[in-house]
């Protein structure tokens, strides 16, 4: 606003009311611009493509939005999560659950494309360039797997158990899938990684007695989260003492690893990790000579 410009003859009602009551008006500060978007080849590529998140988690979507992927399509899996916990490790459990989610959603997306193509009144969506799925669980010191609390009493018991055992692990399996450039079986590239973060709960003597846990449960903040707490919210302030590892993993998606896997399934199709390492070693041993 130009301070030397003449005031309008009919100022807005809120300005006229403030003047009548002798309330001083302060000129608004200039709008601050946010940070520039992160410029990486994989992000620049995905910003123009169809990216599907096989999860209804608003936290995972928000993490991708922070990277500048604002048009992520939410396509949650409705496949029952019935992987048997008793016969496999927690790492194997989350990895298999995430893998089943991503394959189910990818198949559903392709089937939907076929149906839309047959329906002449509906525009066929673009081919999925990348599908992302994730599954998060809590692994206790005894190896027990905790997911979302069933009800309020289960929620209280769960948080007391995490407090009394002091430390637990948050495991998130992230799975990414991209269609292959050629028609080779099975038609897609798929990679999975399990991120492991240790979380230390505060103790009763440190300000986390039973009544604080019960008060937290009544906020309902952690009712829909594995382990029953949100590290990015009140839970991180009143329940958690410290963590060792990735914070965004505890939120629900290890972002850095997700980008690394996306680069591999899109830009490095058919290239094994060992091949990449051997090329780098060869470059070191035999530098280019003119």
- The 3 state secondary structure assigned to 235-253 is HHHHCEEEEECCHHHHHCC
Give CA separation, 27 vs 10, 18, 22, 90, in Å: 18, 13, 16, 57
Q: State the Rg of the chain over Cα.
A: 25
DSSP 166-195: -EEEEEEEEEEEEE-SS--TTSEEEEEEEE
Give the tens place of pLDDT for each residue, 2-53.
Answer: 555 555 567 777 777 777 777 776 666 666 676 788 899 999 999 999 999 9
The answer on pLDDT for 141 being more than 80 is yes
Q: Distance (Å, rounded) from C-alpha 211 to C-alpha 206?
A: 13
> Which are the catalytic amino acids?
135
Q: How is the chain split into domains, by residue range?
A: 38-268
Alpha-carbon gap, residue 141 to 197, rounded angstroms = 13
Rounded to the nearest 10 degrees, how much is the dihedral formed by the CA atoms of 139, 142, 147, 153?
Answer: -140
- The pTM (predicted TM-score) of the whole model is 0.80
CATH of 38-268, one of 3.90.1150.10, 3.40.50.1970, 3.90.950.10, 3.40.50.10490: 3.90.950.10
Average pLDDT over residues 75-100: 91
Q: How high is the pLDDT of residue 64?
A: 96
Whole-number mean pLDDT of the chain? 88
Query: Given this model, what pLDDT does residue 23 score?
Result: 75
Q: What is the 3-state secondary structure (H, E, C) of 260-275?
A: HHHHHHHHCCCCCHHH
């Amino acid at each position: 606003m130009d301070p030397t410009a003449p005031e309008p003859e009919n100022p807005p009602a809120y300005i006229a009311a403030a003047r009548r009551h002798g309330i001083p008006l302060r000129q608004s500060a200039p709008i601050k611009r946010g940070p520039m978007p992160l410029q990486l080849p994989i992000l620049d590529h995905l910003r123009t493509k169809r990216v599907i998140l096989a999860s209804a988690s608003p936290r995972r979507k928000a993490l991708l939005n922070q990277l500048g992927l604002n048009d992520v399509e939410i396509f949650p899996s409705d496949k029952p999560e019935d992987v048997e916990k008793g016969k496999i490790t927690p790492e194997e459990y989350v990895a298999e659950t995430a893998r089943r989610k991503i394959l189910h959603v990818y198949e559903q997306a392709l089937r939907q494309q076929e149906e839309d193509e047959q329906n002449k009144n509906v525009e066929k969506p673009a081919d999925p360039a990348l599908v992302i799925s994730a599954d998060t669980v809590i692994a206790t010191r005894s190896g027990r797997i905790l997911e979302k609390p069933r009800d309020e009493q289960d929620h209280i018991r769960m948080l007391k158990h995490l407090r009394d055992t002091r430390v637990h692990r948050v495991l998130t399996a992230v799975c990414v899938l991209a269609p292959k450039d050629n028609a080779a079986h099975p038609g897609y590239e798929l990679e999975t990684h399990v991120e492991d973060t240790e979380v230390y709960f505060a103790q009763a003597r440190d300000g986390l007695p039973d009544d604080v846990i019960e008060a937290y449960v009544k906020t309902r903040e952690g009712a829909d989260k594995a382990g029953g707490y949100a590290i990015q919210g009140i839970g991180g302030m009143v329940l958690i003492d410290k963590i060792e590892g990735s914070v965004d993993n505890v939120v629900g998606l290890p972002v850095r690893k997700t980008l690394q896997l996306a680069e591999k399934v899109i830009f490095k199709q058919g290239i094994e990790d060992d091949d990449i390492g051997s090329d780098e070693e060869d470059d070191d041993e035999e530098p280019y000579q003119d």
